[in-house]
Structure 1
Amino acid sequence: MNYHIGVVEDDKNIQDIVSAYLKKEGFEVTILGSAEEAWDIWESSPPDMWVLDIMLPGMDGYEFCRRIRNESEVPIIIISAKDDEIDKILGLELGGDDYLTKPFSPRELIARIKRLFKRSHPVRESNESSNNKVKVDHLLIYKNDRRIFWDGQEEEITTKEFDMLLLFAENVNRAFSREELLVKIWGEDYFGSDRAVDDLVKRIRKKFADIPLETVWGFGYRLRSDEEN
């Protein structure tokens, strides 16, 4: 499958470089110079992933990210010259799946795009496979399709919400430190604050009412169950 990537960036040099590398890897690419143009594309021919600059003319990238996330869980990689921790946290809080600071290596961008597609579009296998299903009380996860059901109802989730819930469900009653969660969910190359972990847990608790995702004070979190899967 040739994935379609929307690149929202107003710097012509970056547009040309990113476009060339993406096309070389076989991706279909649409370059947009503003969030307004990107929104028009979203409504007519939505990409499979967004590579989104923050500093844009008119609507900024944060607002565009928020609008997209209100409608879809399509993967979003944020690129920005802003390297302050608060900017990274804000981008992730608004629903970004990854954050890359300028200047960046095009090869690193390609690697992150492939990793994100691998997580969000895995090869589909039968949902009846016992190795594919993880069930903990009211939570049911189909790993290969990356689908999650709560009390029988399917929930729309982000890539990192899925990754965290699967990690907890496969290690029910085990406590994970914030540092462990950062490495396992965000990767070893993530250098942001562990506040990102707290924010992700907060979002999961809001979506899954009464989920027994407990705080282990002074340490981290665990998914509690009286009956291990």
Structure 2
Amino acid sequence: MYNILVIEDDEKIADMLSAAIAKYDFAVQVVEDFRLVLECFLAVKPDLVLLDVNLPKFDGFYWCRQIRAQSTCPIIFISARDSQMDQVMALENGADDYITKPFDIEIVIAKIRSQLRRAYGAYAAGQEQERTVTSAGIVLYPERFVVSCQGNSIELTQKEAALLEVLMLKEGRVVSRERLLDLMWEDQHFIDDNTLNVYITRVRRKLKDIGIGDRIETVRGAGYRLIPELEELP
């Protein structure tokens, strides 16, 4: 049974979410002391987090960063703040998805299930050897969300790993924005135009952190491609 942690200071919304989620056979924990959000997260060890932006003491962006420093578990924001900037900030701080209030609980459940499939579905095979993807001098461990190069490694979020995997598998070839969105998100209708740009920026930054130059090329009007290792960087 997957365990969901709800970080929401509106008691009515928190109770509604926890009751609805429990009906779908998930275990649910709700944070009660907003001074101890990280401590609660570490104690509960949830498989997925639902996180509000407006919280006492520190906002959801702060707690998202704290959680992301400890774990790659899926983080979905649920907030009444519906501006494009808020959604971009959530993604920049490590979130995997963003739902605006008022929301349809069926959409929340669908997004929870989608994120859990992407995060943990690969382990259903049990004893299979860990899968790796190697391209352009980069080694990706898509089941652990880790990328490495020449002994240096860094953790990715689920969607960062999914994005990089697609580009690595298509090394040297352009992958359209539409194709990337189709592969990374099952419900494109809810994705802001800037979302993919944010993820590309984050992956580029993380590759740079482990000593890899900017191998992700933007092909204007077409999409993105991973520059082959032997091809000269611009």
TM-score (norm 2): 0.84
Mapped to 2, the partners of 1:144 and 1:49 lie a distance apart of 16
| Cross-structure match for 1:60 | 59
**Does the CA contact (< 8 Å) of 1:93 and 1:199 recur in 2?**
yes
| Cross-structure match for 1:127 | 129
Mapped to 2, the partners of 1:221 and 1:214 lie a distance apart of 6
| CA distances 1:16-62 after superposition (whole Å, capped 9, x unpaired) | 22111211122111112454242221233322211001111221111
| Cross-structure match for 1:222 | 225
SS class of match (1:174)? coil
- Is the counterpart of residue 136 in structure 1 residue 139 in structure 2? no
How many residue pairs were aligned? 222
| Cross-structure match for 1:100 | 99
Mapped to 2, the partners of 1:181 and 1:107 lie a distance apart of 25
Unaligned runs of 5+ in 1: none
SS class of match (1:140)? strand
Mapped to 2, the partners of 1:36 and 1:210 lie a distance apart of 40
| CA distances 1:156-215 after superposition (whole Å, capped 9, x unpaired) | 11011101001111212121344443443244223413x332322222122212252122
| Cross-structure match for 2:213 | 210
**Does the CA contact (< 8 Å) of 1:10 and 1:34 recur in 2?**
no
Shift of 1:152: 4.6
**Does the CA contact (< 8 Å) of 1:34 and 1:59 recur in 2?**
no
SS class of match (2:173)? coil
Query: Aligned pair in 2 of structure 1 residues 43, 134: CA closer, same or farther (>3 Å)?
Result: closer
Q: Aligned runs of 1:159-198 on 2, under 5 Å?
A: 159-187=158-186, 188-193=188-193, 195-198=194-197
Identity across aligned pairs (percent)?
34
| Cross-structure match for 2:89 | 90
Query: Aligned pair in 2 of structure 1 residues 142, 67: CA closer, same or farther (>3 Å)?
Result: closer
Mapped to 1, the partners of 2:227 and 2:162 lie a distance apart of 17
How big is the alpha-carbon RMSD for the aligned residues of Structure 1 and Structure 2? Answer: 2.3
SS class of match (2:122)? coil
Amino acid at match of 1:12: E
TM-score (norm 1): 0.86
Mapped to 1, the partners of 2:7 and 2:43 lie a distance apart of 16
Unaligned runs of 5+ in 2: none
